[in-house]
Structure 1
């Protein structure tokens, strides 16, 4: 895929004013999928709802409303807010870069993002390079995973990738 602005990513950005809303609706929910019953993910971690792993135990069951509330709370408190601390200029970054970092943080952990090349580049206002640096988080269990590669880059036929969205929001 080319670095030209993706039409579908530009459309996704239209009218969105919050990195949390953008990351939830365009990146996290479509890529995570929703499971109301706890299951083991590809590396054996107990997971529920939209990729939630915190406090998940075998046999847990949640409702859609519980999943929605938990996801919003976790993304705001445990991912967005910490990123505003570790990347002091986070709120001034392009919304698309903020959303890509929030989504990647939700998927790999906020500590990994805060200590990443992507964060260093974002702090230096090298937005394009920061967008590309997020693509490095494409492994699980030490191996490149096709789904993570697609999620980090240009997505697939039905879902926008983090790089695709990130670049579309840059001037």
Structure 2
């Protein structure tokens, strides 16, 4: 598959997200979330959380909304489900940090962060506050603050934040 066809295939996986934030941001966001939430291996059956979310029922690529024990999903259903969930974070992220509009890399990283920590936590975060102030580098590096679960540093969260920071620092506004 050529690079163009591969990119189109990834956009087709997240059509609502691409319509909401643009193809570039959708590809970056969707790829980042699926990599970190499922390691590229979708969970088609509900499972009881991960190290950073113990006890929380989860399915597909980290979706926790209305998931119950015994829930099952198809791969196609997971794509639709995650697309809808990611879209649900666009408005809250842009409301918290309107400066992100038109900046696909920073927006993608922020949606990934919000998907992981929750929209309310993102809205009150140092990350959002620094974006609003125009401190792009400071906002991107502040992602690293979100590396704990239950008060303990989680290596997987450190790695995820490192990836999000790299994305966020790409093509920074001048």
TM-score band by shorter chain is 0.7 to 0.9
What runs of 5+ residues in structure 2 fail to find an aligned partner? 1-6, 8-21
Corresponding residue number in structure 2 for 1:81: 91
1:23 aligns with 2:32: no
Note the 1:88-107 alignment, pairs <5 A.
Answer: 88-92=98-102, 94-107=103-116
1:128 aligns with 2:130: no
Structure 1 residue 82, shift from structure 2 partner? 1.3
Name which of 148, 156, 163 aligns with 1:139: 148
Structure 1 residue 17, shift from structure 2 partner? 4.2
Is the Cα contact below 8 Å between 2:86 and 2:115 reproduced in 1? yes
TM-score, normalization by structure 1: 0.80
Cα offsets for 1:54-86 (capped at 9, x unmatched): 10000110001111001111111x211211122
Corresponding residue number in structure 1 for 2:44: 36
What runs of 5+ residues in structure 1 fail to find an aligned partner? 1-11, 154-160
Is the Cα contact below 8 Å between 2:97 and 2:131 reproduced in 1? yes
1:109 aligns with 2:145: no
1:57 aligns with 2:68: yes
Note the 1:1-20 alignment, pairs <5 A.
Answer: 17-20=23-26
Structure 1 residue 164, shift from structure 2 partner? 1.3
Counterpart CA distance in 2 for 1:28 and 1:95 is: 15
Cα 1:63–1:17 change in 2 (3 A) is closer
TM-score, normalization by structure 2: 0.79
Structure 1 residue 163, shift from structure 2 partner? 0.8
Counterpart CA distance in 2 for 1:127 and 1:137 is: 17
Give the RMSD, CA atoms, in angstroms: 1.6
Runs of 4 or more, structure 1, over 4 Å off, are: none
